[in-house]
Chains A and B, each alone.
Chain A
Amino acid sequence: MNNNETTTKNEMAPPKSSIGVPGWLKQNLFSNWWNTLLTIIFTVITIYVVKGTFTWVFFTAEWSVVSENFKLLMVGQYPDEELWRVWTALSIFTALVGISWGVWKGTMGHVSIFLGVVMAITMVVPFIAVGSRIWLAANIGLLVLGFAIGKQSEKLKKPVLVGWFLLVPIGMFFIEGFGLLNEVSTNFWGGFLLTCLIAIISIIASFPIGILLALGRRSNLPIIKWFSIIYIELIRGIPLITVLFVAQLMLPLFLGDTIELDKVLRAMIGFTLFNAAYLAENVRGGLQSLPRGQYEAAQALGLNKAKMMTFVIMPQALKAVIPAMVGQFISIFKDTVLVSIVGLIDLLGMAKKIIANPQFLGTQMESFVFVAFVFFMICYLMSYVSRRLERSLGVGER
C-alpha cells in the first residue's frame, strides 16, 4: 500500500530523449550506427525515387493518351447510345453499397467512402463528358441516400442480402439485354467493363463447382474422390494460360458443331474451370479445420448428410476461409489480364491496342501505368477488406 503510494508520487516523467519528435526519431531512425547508416541510405534512395516519379507524373508524362481514350479503356466499344445501361447497373451496385454501409457500418463504410471518393475525383477531372458527370453525381447521391435509408432500420439486412444476390443477374440483364433490350453482343464489351465481368462471373460460377470438388475430394467413394483429386491437381499443376488456350482454341473443337460459344464466354469458362480447382482447395482447408465434434453433434441431432453439410458444416467451413477466398478472388481478378494474350480486348488489351495507334506512339509507360493503377486501387481495397474481415471474424489468430 505504502509502497504503491510512493511510486505514484515519485513517478518520474520519461526522459526528454525518449518522447516527442526527437525521441521518436532517435528510437525509429537513429537507434544505433547501423540504423543511422540505413536511414541515410534509404533517405537518399527515397528522395531520388520520389522526385523522379513526381517529375514524370506531373511534367514528363503525356496523360492525353488516357484522357482521350478514357471511354475505350473503361467500356471498350460499348455503343454510346446504350451506355445508360452500364450506368444503371453501376447505380444499382452503388445503391447496394450505400445501404449496406448504413446497415453494417464498419468495413462497408470504408468501401463506400473509397467508392465515393473515386467517383468524385472522376467527376471533376476535365476530360469527362457532361453526361457521365451527371451519372457520377447521381451515383454519389445514391450512395449517401442508401446510407441514410440503411441507417434507419436493422430490418433491411435480409432484403439487402437478397439484393446482392440479384445484382449480377440484373446487372447482366442491363448490360447484355437478354432479348428485352437491344442486344449488345459480347464483341462490344471491352476495357475495364470486360475485366470486371469476366472476374465476377467466373468467381460466382466457380463457387458451386469448387464446393462440390472439395466435398468430392473428402468423400470416401473412391471414383468420386479420385476424379476430384485428379481434376484439382491437374488444373493447379498447369499455368492459367494453357487453360485459356484450351478454352479458347480447343473447346470449339471438343464441342463440335452442335454448341457454339463466343470468345468471351469461352474465356469465362476457362477462368471458371481454373478458379474452381483453387477454390476447392480453400474450401477443403475450411472443412479440415472443423473439429470432428461438429459432425458428430450434427449426426446426434439426427440430421441427414445433406442437412448436416448445408446447415452445420458448410457455414462454418466457409466462414473460416473467407480471407483465403478473398485472396483467391484478388488473384483471379489480376489474372483476368491474361485474356489479352488470347485476343480479347480487356483493360490491358485495350491499352496495347491504343499504343499500337501511331497517334499515341511512345506512350507505353503512361498507358500501362494507368492500367496498373486501376488494378492497384481495386486489389488494395480488396486486400484491405480481407485484412479487416480476418480481424473481425477472429480467424488466423491464436
Chain B
Amino acid sequence: MKKDIADVPTPFWRNKKVIPFLAQGIFAVIIAISLLFLFSNALDGLRQMGISLGFDFLKSSASFGISESLIDYTPESSYGTAFLVGVLNTLRVSFFGIIIASLIGLVVGISRLSNNWLVNKTASIYVEIFRNTPLLVQISIWYFAVFLPLPRIEESTRFLFSYFSNRGSAIPWFQATSGTLVWVLLFAVGVIASVIVWKLRLKKQIETGENKRPGVWAIGVVILSLVIAFLATFQAPFNITLPTVEGRSFMGGLRLSPEFLAILLGLVIYTSTYIGEIVRGGIQSVQKGQVEAAKALGLKPSTTMRLVIFPQAIRVIIPPVTSQYLNLIKNSSLAIAVGYQEVVSVGETINNQTGKAIESVTIMILVYLTFSLLTSFFMNQFNKRSQIVER
C-alpha cells in the first residue's frame, strides 16, 4: 500500500520544492510589470512635455540665487554646484543640530531624574510640550512669529553683545589669529601626552598602591602645553570679535540668518526632548544592584556615575540616539518651509525650473541614503566599542 502512494507523482503545484520558485516568479513578474507600466508612462509623459532623461543638465547654469552658501556660488554656477551647496547646508544645520541637541538632551534626561522636584517637573513639562507638537509648527513659530517680527536691522534688539533683527542676528565669535594653528597643534600634543601620563601614573598607582595623583599630572601636562604655546606665539589663541551695526548690515561677529536660526532652534528643541527621554531610559535601565554594589565598594557618587552607571547606560542609549540623529538629518528637510536652502529645497527649485523631477528626486534620495549609511556606520563603530564583551 505504502509503495502505491509513494509511486503517485506529486503534481508540480503541490511540490514543496517548486512552490517557492513559482511564488517568487509570479511576485517578480508582477513587480516587473508594474515598474514597467510606471516607467513607460513616465517616459511617455516626459516625451510629450519635451523633457529628456539624463543628468547632463547638472553642468548647465543654475541662474537662481542661494542666499547662504559655504562655498563660492553665483547664479551663473552650474546645477551640480547648486546641489553641492544644498548638501553642505544640510550638513551644516545637521552638524550643529546634533551637537547642541545631544547636550541639551543630556541635561534634560538627567534633570528628569533629579530629586529636585522643581527641576524634575520643569524638565518633564519641557519634554511634553515640545514632543507633542509637530516640528513644522514649531519651526513656523520660530520663523514667522519670532525671528521675522524682530525690528529692522538699524533698530535691532541688543542683548549680551548680540544683535537680533529681522534680517538676521549676530553674536560674538572667535576669530583666528596668526598663532591659532600653533596653539591648536600644541594643545593637541598636550592632550595626547596628558592621556599617556595619566595612564602611566594610574598604572603605577595600581602597582604600588600609593596615591600617585594621575588626574593632577594629566591636567599639569595640558597646562604645560598651553604655557609653551603662549611662549611660542606671544598671542592669545584667538580674538573675540563683537558684532556692530554699520548702516544696514552687521560687521564682525558670527552672522546667522533668521532661516538658519529658525530651523536650527526647531530641530534642536524637538530632538532634545527625544534624546532626553532616551538618556533617562538608559540611566534607569541600569540595575539598582549595580549602584548598590558600587556604594558597597566605597565609590563616590561621581565615580559611580562615571565608571558604573554611564558605561552600562551608554549601551542602551546609543542605538536609539543614532536613529534620532538620522531623524534630525531627515527633518532638516523641513527647512523648505522657511526658505533655508538645503538639499531638498534646492532640488525642488531645480525641479520647478527644469522639470527634471525624476533626476532631482533621485539625487535627493541618494544624498539622504548616503547620510543614513554614514551615520549608521560611525555609530555602529562606536557601539561596538561599548558593547559587552561576552565569552
Contacts and interface: CB of A to CB of B under 8 A. Distances in A.
B178 interface: no
Interface in B143-191: 144-146, 148-149
Interface residues of A, number: 54
Interface stretch (B64-72, B74-82, B96-104, B364-372): B364-372
A355 interface: yes
Given A369-B141, A380-B132, A28 B365 contact: no
A221 B20 CA distance: 7
Main secondary structure of the interface of B (DSSP, over half): helix
Interface stretch (B6-14, B38-46, B217-225): B38-46
B361 A42 contact: no
Contacts of A224: 23-24, 27
Interface string B325-354: 000001101101100000010001001000
B24 A239 contact: no
Contacts of B24: 221-224
Given A365-B141, A368-B145, A237 B361 contact: no
A17 B115 CA distance: 18
Contact of B140 (A45, A334, A348): A348
B336 A241 contact: yes
A334 B135 contact: yes
A387 B20 CA distance: 42
B119 interface: yes
A134 to B, nearest CB: 32
Interface stretch (A178-186, A203-211, A249-257, A314-322): A249-257
A35 B132 CA distance: 29
Interface stretch (A76-84, A105-113, A336-344): A336-344
Interface in A188-241: 221-224, 227, 234, 237-241
Contact of B364 (A46, A227, A242, A334): A242
Given A222-B24, A340-B136, A368-B144, A238 B129 contact: no
B134 A337 contact: yes
A255 B135 contact: no
Given A221-B20, A253-B45, A42 B118 contact: yes
Contact of A237 (B135, B336, B357, B369): B369
A35 B337 CA distance: 42
Nearest to A250: B357
B128 interface: yes
Contact of A371 (B38, B118, B137): B137
B133 A372 contact: yes
B33 interface: no
Given A222-B24, A223-B27, A334-B133, A253 B42 contact: yes
B133 A375 contact: yes
Interface string B7-34: 0000000000000100110011001000
A396 to B, nearest CB: 10
Residue with the highest number of chain A CB atoms closer than 10 Å, among B39, B140, B331: B140
B359 to A, nearest CB: 11
Interface in A24-42: 27-29, 31, 35, 38-39, 42
A245 interface: yes
Interface in A359-387: 362, 364-365, 368-369, 371-372, 375-376, 379-380, 383
Given A29-B116, A224-B24, A254 B361 contact: no
A43 interface: yes
B132 A375 contact: yes
A38 B119 contact: yes
Given A250-B361, A376-B129, A256 B45 contact: yes
B138 interface: yes
B369 A238 contact: yes
Given A223-B28, A237-B368, A255-B38, A348 B136 contact: yes
B117 A29 contact: yes
A364 B141 CA distance: 7
B137 A341 contact: no
Contacts of A227: 27, 31
A317 to B, nearest CB: 21
Nearest to A251: B38
A74 interface: no
A372 B138 contact: yes
A335 interface: yes
Contacts of A221: 20, 23-24
Contact of A338 (B20, B132, B136, B351): B136
Contacts of B128: 380
A250 B38 CA distance: 10
Contacts of B192: none
Given A224-B27, A341-B337, A368-B141, A379 B118 contact: no
Given A249-B351, A253-B357, 9 more contacts: A242-B344, A245-B351, A253-B42, A253-B45, A255-B38, A355-B144, A364-B145, A372-B137, A379-B132
Interface of B: 20, 23-24, 27-28, 31, 38-39, 41-42, 44-46, 114-119, 122, 128-129, 132-138, 140-141, 144-146, 148-149, 330-331, 333-334, 336-337, 344, 348, 351, 357-358, 361, 364-365, 368-369, 372-373
Interface of A: 27-29, 31, 35, 38-39, 42-43, 45-46, 221-224, 227, 234, 237-242, 245-246, 249-250, 253-256, 258, 330, 334-335, 337-338, 340-341, 348, 352, 355, 362, 364-365, 368-369, 371-372, 375-376, 379-380, 383
Closest 7 CB pairs of A and B: A256-B41, A28-B117, A379-B132, A239-B333, A365-B145, A364-B145, A334-B134
